[in-house]
Protein backbone atom coordinates (compact mmCIF):
# COMPACT_ATOMS: atom_id res chain seq x y z
CA UNK A 1 0.00 0.00 0.00
CA UNK A 2 1.37 3.39 -1.01
CA UNK A 3 1.62 6.09 1.65
CA UNK A 4 -0.45 9.24 1.33
CA UNK A 5 0.65 12.81 1.95
CA UNK A 6 -1.43 15.97 2.27
CA UNK A 7 -0.82 19.64 1.69
CA UNK A 8 -2.45 23.01 1.83
CA UNK A 9 -1.50 26.59 1.05
CA UNK A 10 -2.43 29.55 3.26
CA UNK A 11 -3.43 32.70 1.42
CA UNK A 12 -4.26 35.89 3.36
CA UNK A 13 -6.28 38.89 2.21
CA UNK A 14 -8.58 41.51 3.76
CA UNK A 15 -11.22 38.83 4.47
CA UNK A 16 -8.81 36.65 6.46
CA UNK A 17 -6.89 33.43 6.00
CA UNK A 18 -7.85 31.07 3.20
CA UNK A 19 -6.71 27.46 2.90
CA UNK A 20 -6.35 25.38 -0.23
CA UNK A 21 -8.79 22.46 0.08
CA UNK A 22 -10.76 19.99 -1.99
CA UNK A 23 -14.54 19.91 -1.63
CA UNK A 24 -16.25 16.54 -1.62
CA UNK A 25 -19.60 15.10 -0.61
CA UNK A 26 -18.15 14.67 2.91
CA UNK A 27 -17.17 18.34 3.19
CA UNK A 28 -13.72 19.85 2.79
CA UNK A 29 -10.46 17.92 2.84
CA UNK A 30 -6.83 18.84 2.49
CA UNK A 31 -5.23 18.16 -0.87
CA UNK A 32 -4.14 14.52 -0.64
CA UNK A 33 -2.00 12.47 -2.99
CA UNK A 34 0.18 9.38 -3.02
CA UNK A 35 3.87 9.62 -2.17
CA UNK A 36 5.77 9.17 -5.44
CA UNK A 37 8.20 6.25 -5.70
CA UNK A 38 11.70 7.42 -4.87
CA UNK A 39 10.48 10.76 -3.47
CA UNK A 40 9.99 12.03 0.07
CA UNK A 41 6.49 13.11 1.10
CA UNK A 42 7.52 16.79 0.83
CA UNK A 43 9.08 16.28 -2.61
CA UNK A 44 5.91 14.48 -3.74
CA UNK A 45 3.70 17.43 -2.79
CA UNK A 46 6.02 19.94 -4.45
CA UNK A 47 6.29 17.79 -7.60
CA UNK A 48 2.51 17.55 -7.85
CA UNK A 49 2.00 21.28 -7.28
CA UNK A 50 4.57 22.08 -9.98
CA UNK A 51 3.81 19.46 -12.64
CA UNK A 52 0.16 18.46 -12.10
CA UNK A 53 -1.26 21.80 -10.97
CA UNK A 54 1.28 23.98 -12.77
CA UNK A 55 2.16 26.60 -10.15
CA UNK A 56 5.54 28.17 -9.43
CA UNK A 57 6.58 26.30 -6.28
CA UNK A 58 9.68 28.48 -5.95
CA UNK A 59 7.36 31.10 -4.39
CA UNK A 60 6.22 28.74 -1.64
CA UNK A 61 7.62 28.70 1.86
CA UNK A 62 7.01 25.81 4.22
CA UNK A 63 4.96 27.32 7.04
CA UNK A 64 4.41 24.15 9.10
CA UNK A 65 4.30 20.39 8.89
CA UNK A 66 2.57 17.88 11.13
CA UNK A 67 1.79 14.20 11.28
CA UNK A 68 -1.97 13.80 11.39
CA UNK A 69 -4.59 11.13 11.13
CA UNK A 70 -6.78 11.80 8.11
CA UNK A 71 -9.42 9.23 7.16
CA UNK A 72 -7.96 6.80 9.72
CA UNK A 73 -4.50 6.96 8.13
CA UNK A 74 -1.41 8.74 9.47
CA UNK A 75 -0.11 11.20 6.88
CA UNK A 76 2.32 14.08 6.77
CA UNK A 77 0.51 17.39 6.23
CA UNK A 78 2.56 20.24 4.77
CA UNK A 79 1.34 23.82 5.09
CA UNK A 80 2.80 26.40 2.70
CA UNK A 81 2.41 30.15 2.33
CA UNK A 82 3.74 33.08 0.25
CA UNK A 83 1.98 32.14 -3.00
CA UNK A 84 0.81 35.10 -5.09
CA UNK A 85 -2.80 34.13 -5.79
CA UNK A 86 -4.49 35.65 -8.82
CA UNK A 87 -7.18 34.52 -11.28
CA UNK A 88 -4.72 32.45 -13.30
CA UNK A 89 -3.48 30.57 -10.21
CA UNK A 90 -7.05 30.00 -9.02
CA UNK A 91 -7.98 28.57 -12.44
CA UNK A 92 -5.11 26.06 -12.22
CA UNK A 93 -6.37 24.84 -8.85
CA UNK A 94 -10.00 24.81 -10.07
CA UNK A 95 -9.05 22.38 -12.86
CA UNK A 96 -7.96 19.93 -10.15
CA UNK A 97 -11.05 20.48 -7.97
CA UNK A 98 -9.17 22.61 -5.46
CA UNK A 99 -10.15 26.00 -4.07
CA UNK A 100 -9.17 28.55 -1.44
CA UNK A 101 -11.74 28.65 1.37
CA UNK A 102 -11.86 31.02 4.34
CA UNK A 103 -10.63 29.41 7.56
CA UNK A 104 -13.89 30.40 9.27
CA UNK A 105 -15.72 28.02 6.90
CA UNK A 106 -13.40 25.11 7.66
CA UNK A 107 -14.19 24.53 11.33
CA UNK A 108 -15.33 20.95 10.69
CA UNK A 109 -12.13 20.12 8.80
CA UNK A 110 -9.82 21.61 11.42
CA UNK A 111 -11.54 19.85 14.31
CA UNK A 112 -11.44 16.51 12.44
CA UNK A 113 -7.64 16.63 12.02
CA UNK A 114 -6.18 14.47 14.76
CA UNK A 115 -2.54 15.00 15.65
CA UNK A 116 -0.59 13.10 18.28
CA UNK A 117 0.26 15.92 20.71
CA UNK A 118 -1.38 19.21 19.83
CA UNK A 119 -4.09 20.48 17.53
CA UNK A 120 -2.65 23.60 15.87
CA UNK A 121 -5.64 23.99 13.53
CA UNK A 122 -8.34 24.33 16.18
CA UNK A 123 -7.90 28.08 16.68
CA UNK A 124 -7.66 28.91 12.98
CA UNK A 125 -11.34 28.35 12.29
CA UNK A 126 -12.61 30.75 14.94
> What predicted TM-score, i.e. pTM, was given to this entire model?
0.87
Please tell me the distance from the alpha carbon of residue 76 to that of residue 89, in angstroms, as a whole number.
24
- Mean pLDDT, the chain, as a whole number? 90
The whole-number pLDDT of residue 124 equals: 57
Please tell me the distance from the alpha carbon of residue 50 to that of residue 71, in angstroms, as a whole number.
26
Chain segment 5-26, per-residue pLDDT in tens: 999 999 999 999 999 999 988 8
Mean pLDDT of 99-118: 84
The whole-number pLDDT of residue 116 equals: 60
Contact residues for 86 (Cβ-Cβ < 8 A; gap 6+): none
What ranges do the domains of the chain cover?
A: 4-115
pLDDT at 120 over 70: no
Q: Domain 4-115 in CATH: superfamily?
A: Nucleoside Triphosphate Pyrophosphohydrolase (3.90.79.10)
**Which helix (H) or strand (E) element contains residue 23?**
strand 16-24
Please tell me the distance from the alpha carbon of residue 31 to that of residue 45, in angstroms, as a whole number.
9
Amino acid sequence: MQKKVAGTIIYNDQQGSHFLVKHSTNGYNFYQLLVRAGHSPLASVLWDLRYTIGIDVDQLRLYDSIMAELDDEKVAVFVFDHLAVDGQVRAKFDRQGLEFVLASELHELFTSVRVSETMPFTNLSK
